[in-house]
Structure 1
Amino acid sequence: MPSIVAIRSSSWVSRWAFSSIRGTSGSSMQNDVPAADRGPGLRAGLIVIAAVTLGRVLALWFNRTDLFVDEAQYWLWGQAPDFGYYSKPPMIAWVIGAVTSLFRSDAAFFVRLPAPLFHAATAAVLARIAATWIGPRAGFWAAVGWITLPVVAVGSLLVSTDTIMFPFLAAALGVWMAAASRQSAGLAALAGGLLGLAALSKYIALLYVAGAALAALSATWRPRPRVWLAALVALGLVILPNVLWNLANGFATVEHTLDNADWVRETRPLNPAGVLAFLVAQAGVLGPVMAVAFVGGVLTARGPAERLWVAFSVPIILIMTVEALLSRAYANWAVAAYAAGTLLATGWLLRRGRGWRLATVIVNGIVSVALPAATIFPHAIRTPDGRLFLHRYLGRAELSRSILAASDVLGADTIVTDSRDVAADLFHTGRDSGKRFFVPPPVGRPRNHYEQRHAVHGPLGGTVLYVGTSGPPACAPGTSPALVLSPPEGAYAGGHFGLYLVPGNCWSDQ
Structure 2
Amino acid sequence: MNNTAIWQRHPYLVAAAIIVCTTCIRIAFLWSNQLDLVYDEAQYWDWTRHMQLSYYSKGPLIAWIIKGWTTLLGNTQFGVRFGAVFNSFLTQSILLYGLGRMMKRPVAALWAVILANTIPLFLASGVLMTTDSPLLVCWLVALFAVYAASENPERKMPYVLLGAVMALGILAKYMMLAMVGVVFFYCIGLWRRQMLSKIFVKRVAIAMAVGTVVGFLPILIWNLQNDWVGFRHVAKLAGVNKDAVAKPFFRFDRFPEYFGSQIGLITPWWFAFLIFGGWTALKQGWTKKGAEILGDNRKVRQAILLSTGFWMLWGFFIFWSFHTRIYPNWSAMSYAAGIILAAIAVEQGHVWGKNALVIRSKRIPLRKTGVVIGIVLFLVMHSLGELPFRTRSFNPAMRLMGWTDMSSKLQELTESMPHPDKVFYFSDRYGVTANLSFYAPGQPQAFCADFGRRKAQYDLWETPEDKTGWDAIFVRHKPIDVRPLKKLFESVKVMEYQTTHTNGYGPKYYIAILKNYNGEWPKRDSGSY
**TM-score clears 0.5:** yes
How far the C-alpha of 1:294 sits from its partner, in A, is 0.9
The 2-side partners of 1:478 and 1:225 are apart by 64
Counterpart contact for 2:434–2:446, Cα < 8 Å? no
- In the alignment, residue 316 of structure 1 is paired with which amino acid? L
Q: Relative to 1, partners in 2 of residues 1:134 and 1:358: Cα closer, same or farther, differing over 3 Å?
A: farther
Matches for 1:290-329 after TM superposition, within 5 Å: 290-301=270-281, 302=284, 303-329=300-326
The 2-side partners of 1:402 and 1:240 are apart by 44
The 2-side partners of 1:382 and 1:63 are apart by 19
Q: Relative to 1, partners in 2 of residues 1:505 and 1:79: Cα closer, same or farther, differing over 3 Å?
A: closer
Aligned to 2:484: 473
The 2-side partners of 1:241 and 1:281 are apart by 34
The 1-side partners of 2:378 and 2:151 are apart by 36
Counterpart contact for 1:404–1:430, Cα < 8 Å? yes
Aligned to 2:80: 111
Correspondent of 2:122 among 137, 152, 168: 152
- In the alignment, residue 192 of structure 1 is paired with which amino acid? G
Counterpart contact for 1:417–1:423, Cα < 8 Å? yes
How far the C-alpha of 1:475 sits from its partner, in A, is 6.5
The 2-side partners of 1:162 and 1:171 are apart by 14
Matches for 1:31-42 after TM superposition, within 5 Å: 38-42=8-12
The root-mean-square deviation of aligned C-alpha atoms, in Å, is 2.9
Q: Relative to 1, partners in 2 of residues 1:378 and 1:506: Cα closer, same or farther, differing over 3 Å?
A: farther
Aligned to 1:234: 211
Matches for 1:183-198 after TM superposition, within 5 Å: 183-184=153-154, 185-198=156-169
Aligned to 1:417: 427
Structure 1, 68-77 or 398-407: larger mean CA deviation: 398-407
1:374 paired to 2:380: no
Q: Relative to 1, partners in 2 of residues 1:419 and 1:215: Cα closer, same or farther, differing over 3 Å?
A: closer
For normalisation by structure 1, the TM-score amounts to 0.84
Matches for 1:21-100 after TM superposition, within 5 Å: 38-100=8-70
How far the C-alpha of 1:180 sits from its partner, in A, is 1.9
CA offsets per residue over residues 382-424 of structure 1, 9 Å max, x none? 345xx75323212234334423432332224333433333321
Q: Relative to 1, partners in 2 of residues 1:227 and 1:67: Cα closer, same or farther, differing over 3 Å?
A: closer
The 2-side partners of 1:405 and 1:271 are apart by 49
The 2-side partners of 1:480 and 1:503 are apart by 9
Counterpart contact for 1:183–1:227, Cα < 8 Å? no
Aligned to 2:463: 455
The 2-side partners of 1:379 and 1:68 are apart by 21
- In the alignment, residue 279 of structure 1 is paired with which amino acid? F
The 2-side partners of 1:231 and 1:116 are apart by 28
How far the C-alpha of 1:316 sits from its partner, in A, is 0.9
Correspondent of 1:333 among 315, 330, 344: 330
How far the C-alpha of 1:480 sits from its partner, in A, is 4.2
The 2-side partners of 1:144 and 1:245 are apart by 41
The 1-side partners of 2:65 and 2:368 are apart by 36
SS at match of 1:84: coil
Q: How many residues align?
A: 469
Aligned to 2:255: 275
Aligned to 2:498: 487
How far the C-alpha of 1:275 sits from its partner, in A, is 1.3
Aligned to 1:31: none
What are structure 1's unaligned runs of at least 5 residues?
A: 1-34
The 1-side partners of 2:435 and 2:457 are apart by 13
The 2-side partners of 1:56 and 1:399 are apart by 25
CA offsets per residue over residues 432-456 of structure 1, 9 Å max, x none? 26x553233677x971112221434
The 1-side partners of 2:324 and 2:173 are apart by 20
Matches for 1:205-216 after TM superposition, within 5 Å: 205-216=176-187
CA offsets per residue over residues 21-73 of structure 1, 9 Å max, x none? xxxxxxxxxxxxxx9x9533223212211111111111221132211111111
- In the alignment, residue 521 of structure 2 is paired with which amino acid? W
- In the alignment, residue 274 of structure 1 is paired with which amino acid? R
Counterpart contact for 1:42–1:128, Cα < 8 Å? no
The 2-side partners of 1:505 and 1:75 are apart by 28
SS at match of 1:500: strand
Q: Relative to 1, partners in 2 of residues 1:304 and 1:330: Cα closer, same or farther, differing over 3 Å?
A: same
Fraction of identical pairs, as percent: 22
Q: Relative to 1, partners in 2 of residues 1:163 and 1:488: Cα closer, same or farther, differing over 3 Å?
A: closer
Aligned to 2:229: 252
- In the alignment, residue 65 of structure 1 is paired with which amino acid? L
What are structure 2's unaligned runs of at least 5 residues?
A: 285-299, 350-358, 525-529
- In the alignment, residue 89 of structure 2 is paired with which amino acid? A
Counterpart contact for 1:472–1:478, Cα < 8 Å? no
1:164 paired to 2:134: yes
Aligned to 1:30: none
Counterpart contact for 2:53–2:222, Cα < 8 Å? yes
Correspondent of 2:446 among 437, 450, 456: 437
Structure 1, 116-125 or 415-424: larger mean CA deviation: 415-424
The 2-side partners of 1:85 and 1:364 are apart by 36
- In the alignment, residue 253 of structure 1 is paired with which amino acid? G
1:284 paired to 2:264: yes
Counterpart contact for 1:66–1:397, Cα < 8 Å? yes
Q: Relative to 1, partners in 2 of residues 1:286 and 1:388: Cα closer, same or farther, differing over 3 Å?
A: closer
Counterpart contact for 1:189–1:234, Cα < 8 Å? no
- In the alignment, residue 447 of structure 1 is paired with which amino acid? K
SS at match of 1:60: helix
Correspondent of 2:437 among 423, 427, 432: 427
Q: Relative to 1, partners in 2 of residues 1:322 and 1:462: Cα closer, same or farther, differing over 3 Å?
A: same
The 2-side partners of 1:432 and 1:221 are apart by 59
For normalisation by structure 2, the TM-score amounts to 0.81
Q: Relative to 1, partners in 2 of residues 1:477 and 1:231: Cα closer, same or farther, differing over 3 Å?
A: closer
Structure 1, 105-114 or 261-270: larger mean CA deviation: 261-270
Aligned to 2:296: none
The 2-side partners of 1:332 and 1:388 are apart by 21
SS at match of 1:87: coil
